[in-house]
Structure 1
Amino acid sequence: MLPWLTAHAPFPPLSAALKEPNGLLAVGGDLSAERLLEAYRRGIFPWYSPGEPILWWSPDPRMVLFPEEFRISRSLGKILRRGDYEVRLDSAFMQVIEACADTPRPGQHGTWIVPEMQAAYRKLHELGYAHSVEVWASGELIGGLYGIALGRMFYGESMFSWRTNASKIAAAHMARFLQQQGFGLVDCQMRTAHLASLGAREIPRQEFIARLTTLTAAGPAPQPWPRDGASQPWSSAT
């Protein structure tokens, strides 16, 4: 039986996670900033649907992206070099998370980014932990992503695209920015064909935990990202 987390109960050891479905570890608890940050530092994340209790997961293997391994196809490279868009960081965090919640996804009904989750990540954004990467065209938000930064570790949460390739543009600029800032790894949680096409791959959970333990212990204090931190033009040498 899965453990039910009371207000101050610690997470169970990751070895207790169910292999199927996808590393389900515990139920209950809350979405306080303290609980969420503890979860991320231990390689655990919340994911649940409306009407369900909070579900906590730690899959094995873990889908990750090493920033330097981001894969740019020929067509995406042309789009990036054309540069008919603007990339901003942390200028419209709540617009991004709301767009991620509202964007339909194949095979999914509704969203796991429920209002309680949006409020929790808004708090993390205010504390300097949660960040957004946004793609704009003619003053209109057309795509983006958001996630959590702890030390030199970034935990990708969700992305959206309202125009073709907008989320890929956001991901490419995110990977370049994270590499420039010395980030070592992006947590992508679970495998999808889309993530794999961008260069993400699976590693054993034990390796993932070892890497995040080192990466979260280093790096700057939580703070807003500079709005223009990922806006430099893309070149063939990038």
Structure 2
Amino acid sequence: MARTYLDPSPLPGPGQWADQDLVALTVGMDAPLVLRAYVNGMFPMPIADEVSDELPPADWIGWFSPVRRGILPLDGLRVPRSLRKSARHFEVTVDRDFPAVLAACGGQDREGGWIDEGIVAVYTELHRAGRAHSVEAWTPDGQLAGGLYGIGYGGLFAGESMFHDPRVGRDASKVALMGLVAMLRAGGHPERRLLDVQWRTEHLASLGVVEVPRTEYLARLRRALALPQPRWAMPPDWRTASLGQ
């Protein structure tokens, strides 16, 4: 059973985690706590289900460390010919418009949306501190067609969410992912860097995402955190970089 903390300052370590994805609950969160969670293998998500009769659901934050963690090996991204062709039609940037990417990922029309005002406030603060980053895919006429955002710390990039605008960029989120992988690989030591996607879904599996046990994820995390951060800028050769098959 997940531990519950009314004071959000402490979080349990791996030795206290239950054998389930949800490892802790707190009332509220702040940017330092969120960053500390990532470097210890956890990530936050508001809990929609009612946890207490005394507090509204929006006040509860669940802290997750999946028993089976989804990661994308930097040499394992699957880039079919059709996607390489689509990439020619987009410009990909880093941190050009973090607020717009965050807003699009949290669009009210998205099924299962969990990005609320609290998430926006915390991740915006982390972006200003240089810890949260966005990757954007733009059309030739300057429309934001897709993108993604996540947390960067050392050799870790913890992806949080991605989106595409079907009106202007069916493959735009995948193209943004291509750019992210190229940028992380350009930072050196690609075999030790860690691109975390939280859970493996069928869609993410089609892009090369695999599952690893929690213990293996934590070991990889320790190695990744010791690396320097990548340069948060898109390599000029991102379209042709070797991104796997």
TM-score bucket of the superposed structures, by smaller chain: 0.7 to 0.9
The alpha carbon displacement at 1:12 in A equals: 1.6
Distance 1:159 1:231 in 2: 22
Encode CA deviations 1:96-141: one digit per residue, 9 max, x unaligned.
0000000644xx34x2111110110000000001000000111110
1:160 matched to 2:158? The reply is: no
- Name the counterpart of 2:118: 116
- Matched ranges for 1:61-80 at <5 A: 61-80=68-87
Distance 2:108 2:202 in 1: 18
The answer to whether the 8 A contact 1:25-1:58 is kept is yes
Matching residue within 18, 22, 30 for 1:24: 22
- Name the counterpart of 2:175: 169
The answer to whether the 8 A contact 2:44-2:63 is kept is yes
1:216 matched to 2:216? The reply is: no
- Name the counterpart of 1:89: 94
Between the aligned residues of both structures, percent identity stands at: 38
Gaps of 5+ in 2: 49-56
Distance 1:88 1:79 in 2: 16
Distance 1:133 1:231 in 2: 14
The answer to whether the 8 A contact 1:103-1:160 is kept is no
- Name the counterpart of 2:14: 14
- Name the counterpart of 1:131: 133
1:143 matched to 2:152? The reply is: no
Moved more, 155-164 or 96-105: 96-105
- Matched ranges for 1:98-113 at <5 A: 98-102=103-107, 104-105=109-110, 108-109=111-112, 111-113=113-115
The answer to whether the 8 A contact 1:87-1:230 is kept is no
One-letter amino acid of the structure 1 residue matched with residue 77 of structure 2 = F
- Name the counterpart of 1:181: 187
Distance 1:134 1:63 in 2: 22
The answer to whether the 8 A contact 1:129-1:150 is kept is yes
Gaps of 5+ in 1: none
**Which TM-score applies when normalising by structure 1?**
0.87
Encode CA deviations 1:22-59: one digit per residue, 9 max, x unaligned.
x1111114322210111001110011245341111111
- Name the counterpart of 2:53: none
For the aligned residue pairs, the C-alpha RMSD in angstroms reads 2.2
One-letter amino acid of the structure 1 residue matched with residue 171 of structure 2 = N
The answer to whether the 8 A contact 2:72-2:196 is kept is yes
Distance 1:236 1:150 in 2: 23
The alpha carbon displacement at 1:7 in A equals: 3.2
Q: Assess, with a 3 A threshold, how the Cα gap between structure 1 residues 236 and 92 changes in structure 2: closer, same or farther.
A: closer
1:204 matched to 2:213? The reply is: yes
Secondary structure of 1:124's match?
helix
- Name the counterpart of 1:54: 61
Matching residue within 35, 38, 58 for 1:37: 35
The alpha carbon displacement at 1:237 in A equals: 6.1
Aligned length: 227
Q: Assess, with a 3 A threshold, how the Cα gap between structure 1 residues 38 and 233 changes in structure 2: closer, same or farther.
A: closer
Moved more, 53-62 or 8-17: 8-17
Distance 1:129 1:153 in 2: 11
Distance 1:69 1:47 in 2: 27
